[in-house]
């Protein structure tokens, strides 16, 4: 009952004309930019982050959330119509693209849109109910537990996003080190600033994100030198009734799976999609058709995708620890806006929390009524050749970096991270865990130093607290399992996610 009351309170904030507008803008811009080749949700959010600087806090966060799930949907669209996958939409390339090959693009896009709506709705119920409960659990966490939780998050993210614990964890550590740059809050010493005044406040979040995910991605696409053929087929969005009936059960199953996977540390949309797809292949009535363009293959993953995109806000907003790179970026945006996500957020900024939750549902509605019918027009974006697109994206990277501090020198930072990002990419290192490390680095140090101060330098404290002890034991088991499987496979590290269809 209280939840309902709170939701009503949230809708009061989300349904003002002002916030509705920003929600709509966020969804639309997010979808459009997410559609562009080579720009996944991470790049999209960092590219559009500067747009939100001049807006008030609630609207800015509503708009950012809109950008996020808009980008998520835009990704699916480019995957379904042209098989251009980002990490967040690999599953869409399987059944979604097969449906396009059969001439059922419209049905696939409609299924993805409607399933996203169902997934999002279910996830919001979970979010509204679970986040406050978890927030109370989070108050039991001491500094040692926070340290262990962050390390656990690093391990999970490393494994899920890169498939290699070692590479991912190394990148988390690189991120933590980058997070050390700037003035040490405890002693006032300037660390790693090389006496540059622009580094005294630390490396800018937008510079890292735009460099690593924007510029590095663009260069990678340029290296590939392939011009994508735009989608020219017909789109017939309205499904028949029997087709519509097939969407619902799969979407509901996907929502449940996605909501659950979204909450887990290191979880998020990618793992949720694969889990939902696997579930559909096991239990669906039409499981024989899956893989060859079945509605269920699209509905399940799309619902899980949107559900996980929303429930992954739960750890961020209730415990204050982002569980993946996108949420780390979100947390950065929250902090720029002066909001510290965590157990106290719901109590101290109820209008922001509930307004955001309510706006997620409003964004869902926009996605269905606005984006799905309009998607055919946005697909014409792909008729713009990449040769035209990439100088424009570079320009937006420059303007985005510049407008944070109105300082042109910041563009050098972005360029440097672009170069570093490209080197990482070519060395097979994924930048996503680094993002998480960068955001969590200062928090990890703070909690580590506090733990050590309280225990007078005794490491045993990590094993005396039940929460941190459990988490550390889980990390240890994970490492042992990884070492064991390395020895058994003689070093062939296979990615966890290896279902990219190879044939055309």
Partner 1 sequence: MNDQNLLRGLFLAIIAGVFGVMATRYSVGTFAHAGPGLFPLLVSCLLGVIAVFMVVRSRIVPKVPVDFSIRNIGIIMVALCGFVVVSELLNMIAGIFFLVFVSAFAGTSYSWVRNLKIFAVLLAVAFAFQKLLGLNLPLI
Rounded distance, CA 350 to CA 6, Å? 9
Residue span binding partner 1 (CB under 8 A) among the ranges 30-38, 278-286, 353-361, 394-402: 394-402
Q: How many CB atoms lie within 10 A of CB 492?
A: 8
Q: Does 60 bind partner 1 (CB under 8 A)?
A: no
Q: Does 17 bind partner 1 (CB under 8 A)?
A: no
Rg for the chain (alpha carbons), in Å?
22
Residue span binding partner 1 (CB under 8 A) among the ranges 77-85, 320-328, 339-347, 456-464: 456-464
Beta strands in 201-278 (DSSP E): none
Pick 97 or 390: Cβ nearer partner 1: 390
DSSP 50: G
Q: Does 47 bind partner 1 (CB under 8 A)?
A: no
Q: Which of residues 162-181 bind partner 1 (CB under 8 A)?
A: 166-167, 169-170, 173-174, 176-177, 180
Q: Does 138 bind partner 1 (CB under 8 A)?
A: no
Q: Does 192 bind partner 1 (CB under 8 A)?
A: yes
Judged by CB under 8 A, the residue of 134, 365, 452, 475 near partner 1 is 452
Q: Does 402 bind partner 1 (CB under 8 A)?
A: yes
491 phi/psi in degrees, rounded to 5: 90, -5
Rounded distance, CA 378 to CA 384, Å? 11
Distances (CA, A) of 340 to 141, 321, 332, 346, 497: 16, 11, 9, 10, 34
Q: Which of residues 417-436 bind partner 1 (CB under 8 A)?
A: 418-419, 422-423, 426-429
Judged by CB under 8 A, the residue of 17, 238, 388, 460 near partner 1 is 388
Question: What is the residue-wise DSSP string for 409-469?
Answer: THHHHHHHHHHHHHHHHHTT--HHHHHHHHHHHHHHHHHHHHHHHHTTT-TTHHHHSHHHH
Rounded distance, CA 310 to CA 341, Å? 15
Pick 129 or 481: Cβ nearer partner 1: 481
Residue span binding partner 1 (CB under 8 A) among the ranges 40-48, 65-73, 358-366, 415-423: 415-423
Q: How many residues sit in the footprint of partner 1 (CB under 8 A)? A: 66
- Nearest partner of 72 among 252, 273, 388, 306, judged by Cα: 306
191 pairs with which residues across the strands? 182
Q: Token pair 């690093």 is at which residue?
A: 154
Q: Which residues bind partner 1 (CB under 8 A)?
A: 51, 54, 166-167, 169-170, 173-174, 176-177, 180, 184, 186-187, 189, 191-192, 215, 218-219, 222-223, 225, 227, 386-388, 390-392, 394-395, 397-399, 402-403, 406, 408-409, 411-412, 414-415, 418-419, 422-423, 426-429, 445, 448-449, 452-453, 455-459, 490-493
């Amino acid at each position: 009952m209280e939840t309902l009351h709170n939701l009503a309170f949230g809708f009061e904030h989300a349904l003002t004309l002002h916030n509705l507008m920003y929600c709509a803008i966020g969804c639309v811009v997010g979808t459009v930019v997410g559609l562009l080749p080579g720009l996944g949700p991470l790049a999209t959010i960092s590219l559009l982050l500067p747009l939100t600087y001049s807006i008030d806090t609630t609207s800015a966060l509503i708009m950012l959330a809109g950008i996020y799930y808009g980008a998520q949907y835009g990704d699916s669209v480019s995957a379904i119509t042209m098989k251009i996958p980002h990490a967040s939409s690999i599953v869409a390339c399987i059944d979604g693209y097969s449906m396009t090959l059969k001439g059922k693009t419209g049905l696939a896009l409609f299924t993805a849109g409607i399933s996203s709506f169902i997934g999002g709705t279910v996830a919001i119920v979970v979010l509204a109910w679970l986040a406050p409960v978890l927030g109370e659990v989070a108050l039991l966490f001491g500094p040692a537990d926070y340290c262990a939780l962050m390390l656990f998050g690093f391990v999970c993210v490393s494994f899920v996003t890169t498939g290699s614990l070692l590479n991912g964890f190394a990148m988390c550590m690189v991120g933590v080190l980058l997070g050390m740059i700037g003035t040490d809050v405890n002693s006032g010493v300037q660390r790693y600033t090389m006496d540059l005044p622009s580094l005294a406040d630390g490396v800018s979040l937008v510079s890292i994100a735009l460099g690593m995910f924007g510029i590095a991605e663009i260069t990678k696409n340029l290296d590939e030198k392939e011009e994508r053929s735009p989608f020219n087929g017909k789109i017939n969005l309205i499904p028949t009734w029997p087709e519509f009936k097939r969407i619902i059960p799969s979407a509901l199953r996907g929502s449940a799976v996605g909501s659950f996977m979204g909450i887990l540390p290191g979880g998020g949309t990618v793992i949720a999609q694969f889990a939902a797809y696997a579930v559909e292949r096991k239990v669906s009535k039409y499981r024989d058709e899956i893989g060859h363009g079945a509605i269920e293959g699209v509905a399940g993953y799309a619902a899980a995708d949107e559900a996980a995109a929303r429930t992954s806000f739960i750890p961020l907003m209730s415990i204050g620890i982002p569980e993946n790179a996108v949420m780390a970026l979100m947390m950065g945006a929250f902090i720029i806006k002066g909001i510290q996500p965590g157990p106290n957020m719901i109590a101290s900024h109820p209008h922001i929390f509930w307004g955001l939750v309510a706006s997620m549902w409003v964004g869902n509605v926009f996605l269905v009524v606005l984006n799905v019918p309009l998607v055919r027009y946005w697909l014409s974006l792909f008729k713009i050749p990449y040769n035209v697109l990439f100088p424009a994206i570079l320009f937006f990277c420059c303007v985005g970096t510049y407008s944070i501090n109105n300082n042109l020198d910041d563009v050098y930072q972005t360029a440097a991270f672009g170069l570093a990002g490209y080197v990482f990419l070519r060395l097979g290192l994924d930048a996503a865990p680094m993002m998480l490390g960068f955001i969590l680095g200062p928090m990890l140090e703070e909690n580590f130093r506090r733990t050590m101060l309280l225990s007078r330098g005794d490491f045993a404290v990590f094993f005396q607290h039940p929460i941190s002890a459990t988490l550390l034991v889980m990390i240890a088991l994970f490492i042992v399992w990884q070492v064991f499987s390395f020895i058994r496979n003689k070093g062939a590290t296979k990615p966890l996610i290896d279902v990219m269809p190879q044939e055309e």
